[in-house]
Structure 1
Amino acid sequence: MKAVIQCGGKGTRLRPHTSILPKPLMPIGARPVLELVLKWLRRNGIREVFVTTGYLGHLIRSVCGDGNQWNMRITYTQEVEPLGTIGPLSLLREQLDAPFLVLNGDVLTDLNLNQFISDHRRTHASLTIATANRPTKMDFGVIDETNGHVTGFREKPELSHLVSMGIYCMDPAILERIPSGVPFGFDDLMFQMLQEEVPVNIFKHDGMWLDIGRVDDFLKAQDVAWDEQSPAFATTVAA
């Protein structure tokens, strides 16, 4: 299976660091996060990768090259103008002719790719989203009310939401929904599919997931042992 790694964003949440480096090259220990992502894909049987670039894309190409050092083949796209989170796939219409993976270049996870891909094929959905539960701590007291009267009160509760991990399995039919040459986000795709009542599948993941585009997750990632024997590097050979 082919994989597309989205690396075109500016990483504004990690400024000023990303004024010098693109977010996928931010260091996790001694290695850039994109190297960890590529090695994880390779251990899971992925050999052909497309990397979409925009902001500081030349640095990403310089560091990763053609992928030969990881026994992979890496092909790059370059956005002249930002195309959003899903828009860059329009540059790969001819190459993505079978189900493929799409993931953000700043995601670290122990997601079982074999199970994820198998679930996508089993449901026959054109899109499957890897999801995780993420707690959010409220900074305010939350009031429940009915007809102007308080019926409940929770002091700064922690709420849990099912969120997208930034990892997707897609069928080529999705590419028909993506316009060429204009910004198109994953939110645009979701709203379009929901409006047309097109089935979208989810795969719930209970393990590790870090989005290093967030400062908190970036700092947490520094404390993980990213060596070859780490549980985070568990091999799950993709079908």
Structure 2
Amino acid sequence: MTLPAAVILAGGFGTRLPEVSATRPKPMADVGGRPFLELVVAHLRSCGVREVVFSTGYKSEVIEAHFGDGARFGVAARCVREPEPLGTAGALRLALPFLGDRALVLNGDTYVDVDVAAMLAAHLAAGAAATLAAVPREDASRFGRLVVEGDRLTGFEEKRPERAPGLINAGVYLLERRVIEAIPAGRAVSFERETLPGLLAAGAPVGVFRHAGAFEDIGIPESLAAFREWAASPARGS
């Protein structure tokens, strides 16, 4: 099974990580002597992904200089710069000329070791327009929960003050090309707040792929420190 190209959304400013963002984009934060983004690419490569498109914005040149054409990381890589902040979906729309029938989309500041081939198999078997990876949380109150029937997404629950378990969005998607083509070009668009709810409202099939592995973000100093510790742990084989 040929895996689609991966689009890594890496254009954010990283305002909550000033010690990193002063000199580099947030996804290039140092983790054990390697940029965080390198670990994300290494996982994709281990899954069989061979093409990576970096959607860049803030300090694009740092990512471009490090990864180049991707050859030394075992992938074919290219960077697509946002001319201005375009949101998650708007940035994805810019990458359309470099994509095939579908794309794997993920956030550059989150490490999710999802089995890409298994997720693609589920996506194709369901005939889904989009499939998202979901992770279970004993306390999903600060994230908001996914409303799921079987393996299909039917809606979203807003954040609640009370502690309760649930499935949350891991921010990893498989999208058919037509979904990306339908994103308005030339303006800021949020995938989470506009595109995904729009698919549900239109009755498009949106699959849910349950992921029980790692889901680690580096969005704030505490979570970056926790990820560094996790990445270096002997149990992970680092």
Q: Deviations over 1:10-40 (max 9, x none)?
A: 1222234323221110111211110001111
Rg: which structure is higher?
1
What is the correspondence of 1:85-164 to structure 2 with a 5 Å cutoff?
85-134=88-137, 135-136=139-140, 158-164=163-169
Gaps of 5+ in 2: 143-160
Q: CA deviation at 1:109?
A: 2.5
Q: Deviations over 1:94-152 (max 9, x none)?
A: 321222201111121222222111111111101001111232578xxxxxxxxxxxxxx
Match 2:85 to one of 53, 78, 82: 82
Provide closer, same or farther for how the CA distance between residues 215 and 204 of structure 1 changes in structure 2, counting only shifts above 3 A. farther
Residue pair 2:5, 2:100 contacting (<8 A) in 1 also: no
More relative contact order in 1 or in 2 (CA 8 Å, sep 6+)?
A: 1
For residue 4 of structure 1, what is the aligned residue in structure 2?
7
User: Is 1:203 paired with 2:178?
Assistant: no
User: Is 1:191 paired with 2:197?
Assistant: yes
**Number of aligned residue pairs:** 215
Provide closer, same or farther for how the CA distance between residues 232 and 169 of structure 1 changes in structure 2, counting only shifts above 3 A. farther
Q: Deviations over 1:47-87 (max 9, x none)?
A: 11110111111111111111111121111111111110111
For residue 70 of structure 1, what is the aligned residue in structure 2?
73
Aligned partner letter, 1:13 = R
Aligned partner letter, 1:83 = L
Question: Residue 230 of structure 2 aligns to a residue in which SS?
Answer: coil
Aligned partner letter, 1:219 = A
Provide closer, same or farther for how the CA distance between residues 69 and 100 of structure 1 changes in structure 2, counting only shifts above 3 A. same
User: Is 1:22 paired with 2:25?
Assistant: yes
Aligned partner letter, 1:194 = L
State percent identity of aligned pairs.
Answer: 33
User: Which whole-Å CA distance do the structure 2 matches of 1:178 and 1:158 have between them?
Assistant: 35
Aligned partner letter, 1:162 = L
Q: CA deviation at 1:226?
A: 5.2
For residue 40 of structure 1, what is the aligned residue in structure 2?
43
Provide closer, same or farther for how the CA distance between residues 115 and 188 of structure 1 changes in structure 2, counting only shifts above 3 A. same
TM-score after normalising by structure 1: 0.82
Q: Cα RMSD over matched residues?
A: 2.2
Provide closer, same or farther for how the CA distance between residues 24 and 158 of structure 1 changes in structure 2, counting only shifts above 3 A. same
User: Is 1:165 paired with 2:132?
Assistant: no
For residue 179 of structure 1, what is the aligned residue in structure 2?
184
User: Which whole-Å CA distance do the structure 1 matches of 2:66 and 2:93 have between them?
Assistant: 25
TM-score after normalising by structure 2: 0.83
Q: CA deviation at 1:160?
A: 2.7
Residue pair 2:55, 2:95 contacting (<8 A) in 1 also: no
Q: CA deviation at 1:230?
A: 6.5
